[in-house]
């Protein structure tokens, strides 16, 4: 249940509590650790999804029996490993990554995790990648964690590619506290993303530290 404090925006999860719960619920291994350390070892930014959110994506993909998943924005493959591990052996994770170096690191990390045959890393702009794989849909789940100004268009393109019951998930949907800024093009796009998802899907925005939008397609009419 919620009390007056939580309804007013108070959060009880400080860094120590989050560290404890992460250690209790999330088991890392060499493959995940390597992907998480890519900012140190491969010169990539330390901006991958947090472990609790990545584990949530893994659980969601498993709950819906996902076989075909699209990830827009792969970086070093940390979240990709979590997603690919939720798929059956004949499943496919399509990783769309703009940066060639990051894509190379992601391929290496997915291979090291034994997931090379369950994943396909596509280098280039996400909209081009979506056009390339569109014929392989419908897809069971789409996860967006890429350039924030592109979220609205990514939603428009991927909602049409989802199967009935499929999920669309987007991270950083509070836009680092700038969501309601009127003059920020990224904020305008992110608000459009919220509106697109809310209109087309059954959705909510989970108040994780960065804001995680989750939408479920309930009709193929979209």
Q: What is the CATH number of the domain that holds 150?
A: 3.40.50.150
Q: Is residue 1 in a domain?
A: no
Please state the pTM of the whole predicted model.
Answer: 0.93
SS (H, E, C) the chain: CCCHHHHCCCCCCCHHHHHHHHHHHCCCCHHHHHHHCHHHHCCCCCCCCCHHHHHHHHHHHHHCCCCEEEEECCCCCHHHHHHHHCCCCCCEEEEEECCHHHHHHHHHHHHHCCCHHHEEEEECCHHHHHHHHHHHCCEEEEEECCCHHHHHHHHHHHHCCEEEEEEEEECCCCHHHCCCCCCCHHHHHHHHHHHHHHHHCEEEEECCCCCEEEEECCCCCC
Across the 222 residues of the chain, what is the mean pLDDT of every consecutive 10-residue run? 65 85 90 88 88 96 99 97 98 98 96 97 98 98 96 96 98 96 93 97 95 92 50
Q: Is residue 2 in a domain?
A: no
Residue 122 domain boundaries: 13-216
Q: Is residue 204 in a domain?
A: yes
Domain count, the chain: 1
Q: Is residue 7 in a domain?
A: no
């Amino acid at each position: 249940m919620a009390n007056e404090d939580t309804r007013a925006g108070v959060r009880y999860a400080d860094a120590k509590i989050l560290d404890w719960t992460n250690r209790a619920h999330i088991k890392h291994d060499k493959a995940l650790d390597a992907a998480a350390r890519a900012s140190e070892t491969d010169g990539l930014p330390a901006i991958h999804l947090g472990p609790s959110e990545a584990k949530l994506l893994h659980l969601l993909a498993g709950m819906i029996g996902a076989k075909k998943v699209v990830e827009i924005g792969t970086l070093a493959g940390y979240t990709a490993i979590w997603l690919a591990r939720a798929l059956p052996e004949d499943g496919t994770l399509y990783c769309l990554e703009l940066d060639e170096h990051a894509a190379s690191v992601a391929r290496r990390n997915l291979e090291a995790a034994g997931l090379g045959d369950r994943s396909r890393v596509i280098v280039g702009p996400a909209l081009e990648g979506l056009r390339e794989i569109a014929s392989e849909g419908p897809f069971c789940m789409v996860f967006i964690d890429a350039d924030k100004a592109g979220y609205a268009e990514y939603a428009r393109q991927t909602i049409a590619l989802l199967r009935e019951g499929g999920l669309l998930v987007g991270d950083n949907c509070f836009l680092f506290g700038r969501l309601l800024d009127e003059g920020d093009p990224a904020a305008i796009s992110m608000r459009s993303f919220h509106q697109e998802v809310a209109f087309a899907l059954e959705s909510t925005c989970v108040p994780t530290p960065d804001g995680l939008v989750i939408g479920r397609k309930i009709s193929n009419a979209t």
